[in-house]
A and B are shown apart, each in its own frame.
Chain A
Amino acid sequence: MTTTTTGRLAVVGAVGTAHTRVEGRDKVTGAARYAGEIPFAELAHGWLVLSTIARGRIRSVETAPVLEMPGVLTVLHHGNAPRVDGDYTGPMGPPDPALLVFQHDRVPYAGWPVALVVAETSEQAREAAEALVVQYDEEPHDVAFSAGRPGTYTPADTPRAAAEQRKGDPVAGFAASAVVVDAEYTTPEEHHNPLEPHAAAAQWDDGRLDVVDSNQGSAFVAQELAKLFSLDPGAVRVRSENVGGAFGSKGTRPHQVLAVMAATVLHRPVRVVLTRRQMFSLVGYRSPTVQRVRLGADPDGRLRALDHEAQNLTSTQREFIERSADPARVMYDADAHHTVNRVVPLDVPTPTWMRAPGEAPGSFALECALDELAEKCGVDPIALRVRNEPAAGPVSGLPFSSRNLLACYEEGARRFGWAGRDPRPGIRREGRWLLGTGMAAASFPSGAAPSTASVTAEPDGTFTVRITAADIGTGARTALTLIAADELEVAPDRISMRIADSDFGPAMIAGGSMGTRSWAWAVTAAARDLRGQLALGGSIPPHGITARSDTAELIGALPARERHAFGAQFAEVAVDVTSGEVRVRRMLGIFAAGRIVNPLTARSQLVGGMIWGLSMALHEEAVRDEVSGGLVGADLASYHFAANADVPVVEADWVDDPDDEDPVGIKGIGEIGIVGAAAAVANAVWHATGTRHRHLPIRPDRVLLAGPGSHRQSS
């Protein structure tokens, strides 16, 4: 039996040094289990059937022949499914209507769940699901997205953000501007498709609902399931031990609800796994955007007027706003400042948060427009941005918690070799390739949300941390281990980090770049409390000594500030205008993103974001077929993203930028890696060719038709 002080190693400083993932060995050896493969006795398998029409009503679900097929246990549909309660406000507001599965006969978009076939084996369920005949009464649908199309509206403000913000007089501001950029940019529908498909298994265990899932926040999923099925919150347990990627797509989705429904009906465990193709309509995506950016400036590039109008689509079921105009409220000041995010509902699935929602498409438009202004003013793109660096929030007037963007420019320019860059486009050639360089700025909000944690001092001298965190591949489990170790002043191998179990209590999701910061705060608070208890001395009882934390009060007491991470992105490209091929040759991102907990996984996270930005610039695009209303090529062979051969030397690094308000100094690095990356690539393509590409992705056909040089615009 150890005491509170002996047996503890005086190791401080795990945070800030590189550590491989604590579960890394399990993952690379296959020992780590994922939701789709965890064994259950008597497990039945559900297979979804999705609508093939984009709007209408289900006339009939012809279950009889399918129920005769081998192994089939049941077919759930709107005619026989258990009722769920959708009349509540959850952590994310009212429930997504897509979660109210099989509650009515309406079909609001192609790929809407219409039935679940449950069978003894996954293969039997699939064969039966593919054989199931569903008859529809089809209605005309509308999936055509375009700027200002009928039905577009300005949504109501939310408690977190205004839809529209105005300062000064834009008309006068633009009139007084010697130089004006006025350009429309578009980004296509993009999908986040983690390597591990969505999967959930549900069973009833002694009156409790037990769900083994792959999600971004088990406490949130548990809360949502409890509301939907009218259960006591304590009667639902959701676990999500390992997650093979999420990116915003793994909240509560129809398959979890269906696994619970089927387990309830059949009185046995049921698992539902989505196929890749099903994921394209069931787990959210990034809406296409149309964005008009107008910049009015003095001849030296100083902004007088800034107007960013963004528009996205949503479903007829739920309003989702892709807040593309928001970055302008943070990045650049002007006496006249107007930003708005508009939306139009169409017969399509509801978009959702996807890596850097708002900032990713918004920074593409805004940072390309800045590049166009630099060209028009004859000012270096970095100098232009430095000239327009605001002292306080351009619209809010609030002070920045910290804003080390200038340090990012300086370090980035030094490492990239920006100095002496010839700004003229279309003049560098290497064989058939035209070469160019470009840069862009990046920002992403930094925040923390209330979370709870417990830390237990075990009799053997180790510590067990329990928190409903989610490690969606980011290395959060490892980061929290280091943070706990430092706070407890022990080596990281003395920490047992237990996460992703809703029984551990409420905690923030892995989202909004807020996960690690929010959880670290709670872990730190509990560990401090525990240290205080242990300092009193005495032996540790067999069940240990546990301290608990809830950061709601601490976080609620934070003063109003502009809190953001910042960064500078650089890219060099080669373009063959006779074939349309664009190759990125190198990328560099320098970030001011708070204290970096684990440089190894942090670099990986940032580089991953930058590669995604490359992919966004050149490859990613889901194609919606207006006739059927569905996607064409909803698979990872047709939905192109950067292959290894597209990814050059990508370097990510950071400047010193600890957040003084945060106990660990964290700002959050989940999403900023992608922000500005696509703009840096697009600006480099202009520098290479002299052609502005304002529509993503910059595909070969677009480059080819735009032709070489001569400052033409792409269509």
Chain B
Amino acid sequence: MREFGYQRAFDVPGAVALLGAEPEARYLGGGTNLVDLMKTGVERPALLIDVRELPLDRIEATDAGGLRIGATVTNSDLAAHPEVRRRYPALAQAVLAGASGQLRNMATVGGNLLQRTRCGYFTDVAKPCNKRVPGSGCPAIEGEHRNHAILGASAHCVAVHPSDMAVALAAFDAVVTYETADGPGELPLAEFYRPVGDTPHLETVLPAGALITGIVLPPAPVAAVSRYRKVRERASYAFAIGSIAAALDVRDGVVQEVRLAFGAVASRPWRAREAERLLTGGPVGAEAFAAAADAELAAARALPDNGYKVTLMRNLVVAVLSELSELPGAPGESGTTDLSGEAAR
């Protein structure tokens, strides 16, 4: 592999300055994705700036009543945090549904947002890939695409974003905070990832050299009754083929508020706003849930081998919303949602 430098940063301005001085540098969080990509030659940074020692490892309540999650909080600490589990259970479930215990101990929140797709063409330097080598083509469209995007893809790239955590964050209107040499900034997660278009190699709208410093979760009482469900090709240690983060507030049989986000269907976490709009103010029940799912998925454009995802997502919407609507208790009262993720046995 290419020889590279390694430097540890101890404060945020220092980290940003280091990156500014070396255009081929990368920030290193847990390294659970970047180091793998370096081994396979997909990433060839000249310098790694280790940001794990930055003072960004806290989870704090915000004045507004939400949570601020530091960028270097590990996945394990995020999933275990009592306030996350109480106020945003789907977020804890999503994190626990990802990777393995060892990886979650290393992986960081900031890195999780920036992890790369696991598309088999992207990870193999012997094959073309527009995301890795712009203009080289997208063989997945004609080739292996069973786990590729059904929403928001383009003729240039059909890869999906691999994060579970980001799906729950999308449902809860998370905001990404960052630091640049010119000062701090923030981006709603809904605007954080770029549409694929003809530039699949450009994945976010983060300014050049920016360092993610954290995530702010606004207060969302509805999130207290929330659920993350992930379907994958084996029970653990696999990326989703379809996942859903959902929160539901029902009073007197009428939907007061609903949050829905899909994972493994697009190049970014897919907030299902059309389904949310249709459901809000309407009745609960399998019929209403299915109609909302269908409306959201009307935009789906399946390739020959990934059309099952449309069925899968529709079924997941119905199953998870049905489950939430049948839970006793209103938002704020439900601390009993299954946090361990569903097991078959």
Contacts and interface: CB of A to CB of B under 8 A. Distances in A.
Contacts of B235: 583, 643, 645-646
7 contacts: A123-B1, A433-B344, A618-B234, A632-B120, A643-B234, A645-B235, A701-B241
Interface of B: 1-3, 40-41, 118, 120-121, 123-124, 126-127, 139, 142-144, 146, 231-238, 241-242, 305, 308, 311-312, 315-316, 318-319, 344-345
Interface stretch (A223-231, A537-545, A622-630): A622-630
Given A625-B139, A646-B235, A700-B233, A637 B118 contact: yes
A700 B312 contact: yes
Nearest to A702: B308
Nearest to B137: A627
B308 A646 contact: no
Contacts of B146: 701
A126 interface: yes
A153 B16 CA distance: 65
Given A579-B242, A581-B344, A643-B237, 4 more contacts: A130-B41, A630-B127, A632-B120, A635-B123
Which 4 A-B pairs have CB atoms at the shortest separation, nearest pair first?
A633-B120, A645-B236, A583-B344, A645-B235
Nearest to A641: B234
B246 to A, nearest CB: 14
A617 to B, nearest CB: 12
B120 A638 contact: yes
A632 B1 CA distance: 22
B1 A583 contact: no
B344 to A, nearest CB: 4
Given A433-B344, A574-B345, A704-B311, A632 B234 contact: no
B234 A642 contact: yes
Interface in A660-715: 699-701, 704-705
B300 to A, nearest CB: 15
A130 B3 CA distance: 13
Contacts of B126: 52, 628, 630
Contacts of A627: 139, 142-143
A578 interface: yes
Interface centre among A277, A583, A632 (most CB of B within 10 A): A632
A699 B3 CA distance: 41
B236 A583 contact: no
B124 to A, nearest CB: 7
Given A580-B308, A628-B127, A700-B312, A619 B144 contact: no
Contacts of B139: 625, 627-628
Given A632-B120, A701-B308, A619 B234 contact: yes
A179 B217 CA distance: 64
Contacts of A658: none
Contacts of A648: 345
B125 to A, nearest CB: 8
A705 to B, nearest CB: 5
A583 B143 CA distance: 29
Given A583-B344, A648-B345, A640 B238 contact: yes
Nearest to B307: A705
A645 B101 CA distance: 12
Contacts of B308: 580, 700-701, 704-705
B233 A699 contact: yes
B interface, over-half SS:
loop
A600 interface: no
Interface of A: 52, 123, 126-127, 130, 277, 432-433, 574, 576, 578-581, 583, 585, 618-619, 623, 625-628, 630, 632-635, 637-638, 640-646, 648, 699-701, 704-705
Contacts of B124: 277, 630, 632-634
B322 to A, nearest CB: 10
Given A127-B2, A625-B143, A628-B139, A583 B315 contact: no
B126 to A, nearest CB: 5
Contacts of B118: 637-638
A36 B270 CA distance: 46
A636 to B, nearest CB: 10
Contacts of B1: 123, 126-127, 130
A643 B3 CA distance: 34
A432 B121 CA distance: 35
A630 B127 CA distance: 9
Contacts of B3: 127
A670 B219 CA distance: 59
A646 B144 contact: no
A36 B26 CA distance: 31
A138 B301 CA distance: 34
B307 to A, nearest CB: 8
Contacts of B120: 623, 632-633, 638
B315 A646 contact: no
Nearest to A123: B1
Nearest to B239: A637
Contacts of B311: 704-705
B345 A633 contact: no
B345 A580 contact: no
Contacts of A641: 234
Contacts of A637: 118
A618 B3 CA distance: 41
B234 A626 contact: no
Contact of B315 (A579, A640, A643): A579
A578 B319 contact: yes
A646 B143 contact: no
A645 B234 contact: yes
Interface centre among A579, A623, A641, A642 (most CB of B within 10 A): A579
Nearest to A51: B126
Contact of B312 (A52, A579, A618): A579
A648 B40 CA distance: 33
Contacts of A576: 344
Contacts of B305: 701
B111 to A, nearest CB: 17
Given A644-B236, A645-B236, A580 B144 contact: no
B123 to A, nearest CB: 7
A684 to B, nearest CB: 13
A634 B231 CA distance: 22
Contact of A700 (B121, B231, B236): B231
A277 B241 CA distance: 23
B233 A619 contact: yes
A648 B343 CA distance: 12
B120 to A, nearest CB: 4
Contacts of A646: 234-236
B142 A704 contact: no
Interface centre among B41, B234, B241 (most CB of A within 10 A): B234
Contacts of A52: 126
Given A580-B308, A627-B143, A701-B146, A585 B345 contact: yes
Interface centre among B40, B146, B233 (most CB of A within 10 A): B233
A623 B344 CA distance: 28
Contact of B319 (A432, A628, A643): A432
A576 B316 CA distance: 11
Contacts of B232: 700
Contacts of B143: 625-628, 632
Nearest to A575: B344
Contacts of B41: 130
Contacts of A643: 234-238
A632 B126 CA distance: 10
Nearest to A699: B233
B238 to A, nearest CB: 6
Nearest to A621: B233
A121 to B, nearest CB: 11
A127 B1 CA distance: 5
A648 B127 CA distance: 38
Given A126-B1, A625-B144, A638-B120, A581 B127 contact: no
Nearest to A624: B144
A124 B104 CA distance: 32
Contacts of A578: 315, 318-319
A433 B308 CA distance: 19
